[in-house]
Amino acid sequence: MEFADSCPYWPFLVAMIIPIIIFAIMVGVIEVVGAWFMFQKAGEPGWAAIIPIYNYLIAIKIAGKQWWYLLLMLIPVVNLVIYIIILNGLAKNFGKGTGFTVGLFFFRFIFIPILGFGKAVYSGDKSNFDA
């Protein structure tokens, strides 16, 4: 018995899954490019946006927090609180308010490019980041 015989709906499933995968890749690329420009605005290397884990370390630095916040991101439940604190630091250091922090939390793929491509200027202080 072949797969096509056991699942007569496979063409429909493929037709539904492929656009979702393409959309997810596009969203990921837009977010990485936005983060690249956001990092450059903050005086950090843009290529850091494509390196997993290191990009979080740079975002923590831009947010004006200590490097060990990255370690706190490994603790379940605590990581949500720390993530919000980091996003709030990012928003404030780019001159945005609490509403922008909420947007970063729920719609990161939209708000990171806004920071990267928009008129927001980095005005934060990275001096307390000792790594």
In this predicted structure, what is the pLDDT of residue 2?
63
| Cα gap 89→59, rounded to integer Å | 9
| Cα gap 9→16, rounded to integer Å | 11
Give residue limits of the domains in the chain. 10-117
In this predicted structure, what is the pLDDT of residue 13?
83
In this predicted structure, what is the pLDDT of residue 116?
94
> Residue 38: which region, alpha, beta or left (left: phi > 0; alpha: psi -120 to 50)?
alpha
In this predicted structure, what is the pLDDT of residue 127?
73
Q: Which residues of the chain are modeled with pLDDT < 70?
A: 1-5, 129-131
In this predicted structure, what is the pLDDT of residue 51?
95
Is 59 within 8 Å of 87 (Cβ atoms)? Answer: no
In this predicted structure, what is the pLDDT of residue 5?
64
